[in-house]
C-alpha cells in the first residue's frame, strides 16, 4: 500500500459491506443517494484510501444521467445512458451499494440481454458549462436524431439510412412484419422495384454500426 497524506494509505480494494463483491480502482459503482427516493448515483472509482480512523474513503468520477445535465433528457437518450462528467468527489466507501458496468455505446448495442447493472456512455460532460464531447454525432431518419438503442429502426435498402417507424407512418407492430423497406426518397428516385417494406434491425450490427451520415 502506498502512503498518501498523514494517517492515510492507498488500498488496493474494498469489499462492499454485507456482500462478497470487491471494488478496485477503475470499477464502476452504484452509490447511495442522499434522497432514498432517487436512483443510485453512478461513479467510476479513481482512488481508495484509508481515512486514518479505520474506515475507507473512495474518490469517484461521477457519471450524470441525462436528466441531471443542464439540457435535460432528450428523445434520443437511452434509458441506461450516462455521461462521464468532470465532477470528482470523495465519500465514505460505506455509501457504495453495488457494482455496475458502463459499456461503450458500440458494445452496449451488441448486448443480447441488458441487465440492471448495465449502462452505456457515449459522451463526456462538463458539469460547469453543460458542454459535451463529442459535440457532434451521427444522426438518422428524416427527424435527424442520434440513435437511441432503445428504439426500433428500419433500414432502407436503397440509401441504407435508418428510420423510426413512427416517422414513416408505421406502428412498431407493422414494422416488425416488414420483409423489405424503401424510404419515400428512394421510391421516388428508383421507383417501387420491390415492396416498400426491410426486416427491422436497428443500426447496431457489426457491418452497419457507423454509416456515413450528417452530423449535428
Distance CA 11, CA 191 (A): 67
Give the chain's domains with CATH numbers: 9-136 (2.30.30.490), 152-199 (3.30.40.10)
Distance CA 100, CA 43 (A): 9
Instruction: Look at residue 216 in the predicted model and tell me its pLDDT.
Output: 40
Instruction: Look at residue 125 in the predicted model and tell me its pLDDT.
Output: 97
Phi, psi of 150 (to 5 degrees): -80, -15
Q: Nearest to residue 126, comparing CAs of 46, 60, 69?
A: 69
Distances (CA, A) of 189 to 24, 159, 184, 185, 186: 57, 10, 9, 6, 5
Where do runs of H (alpha helix) occur along the chain? 105-108, 172-176, 184-190
Q: Nearest to residue 197, comparing CAs of 159, 170, 166?
A: 170
Distance CA 15, CA 21 (A): 6
Instruction: Look at residue 36 in the predicted model and tell me its pLDDT.
Output: 85
Q: What is the DSSP string of 174-210?
A: HHHT-S----HHHHHHH--SS--------S-SGGGSS
Instruction: Look at residue 154 in the predicted model and tell me its pLDDT.
Output: 93
Q: Which residues of the chain have pLDDT under 70?
A: 1-7, 191-216
Phi, psi of 83 (to 5 degrees): -115, 130
Does the predicted TM-score (pTM) go above 0.85? Answer: no
For cell 455505446, what's the residue? 105
What does the block give as the cell for 34? 442522499
Per residue in 148-172, pLDDT (tens digit) is 999 999 999 999 999 999 999 999 9
Amino acid at each position: 500500500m502506498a502512503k498518501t497524506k498523514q494517517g492515510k494509505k492507498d488500498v488496493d480494494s474494498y469489499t462492499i459491506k454485507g456482500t462478497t463483491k470487491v471494488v478496485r480502482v477503475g470499477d464502476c459503482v452504484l452509490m447511495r443517494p442522499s434522497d432514498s427516493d432517487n436512483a443510485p448515483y453512478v461513479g467510476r472509482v479513481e482512488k481508495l484510501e484509508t481515512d486514518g480512523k479505520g474506515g475507507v474513503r473512495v474518490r469517484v468520477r461521477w457519471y450524470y444521467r441525462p436528466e441531471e445535465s443542464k439540457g435535460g433528457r432528450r428523445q434520443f437518450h437511452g434509458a441506461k445512458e450516462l455521461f462521464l462528467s468532470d465532477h470528482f468527489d470523495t465519500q465514505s466507501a460505506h455509501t457504495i451499494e453495488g457494482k455496475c458496468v458502463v459499456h461503450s455505446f458500440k458494445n452496449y448495442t451488441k448486448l443480447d440481454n441488458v441487465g440492471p447493472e448495465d449502462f452505456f456512455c457515449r459522451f463526456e460532460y462538463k458539469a460547469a458549462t453543460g458542454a459535451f464531447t463529442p459535440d457532434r454525432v451521427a444522426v438518422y431518419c428524416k427527424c435527424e436524431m442520434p440513435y437511441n438503442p432503445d428504439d426500433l429502426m428500419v433500414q432502407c435498402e436503397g440509401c441504407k439510412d435508418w428510420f423510426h417507424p413512427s416517422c414513416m407512418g408505421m406502428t412498431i407492430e407493422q414494422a416488425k412484419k416488414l420483409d423489405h423497406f424503401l424510404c419515400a426518397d428512394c421510391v421516388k428516385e428508383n421507383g417501387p422495384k420491390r415492396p416498400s417494406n426491410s426486416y427491422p434491425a436497428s443500426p447496431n450490427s457489426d457491418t452497419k454500426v457507423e454509416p456515413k451520415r450528417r452530423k449535428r
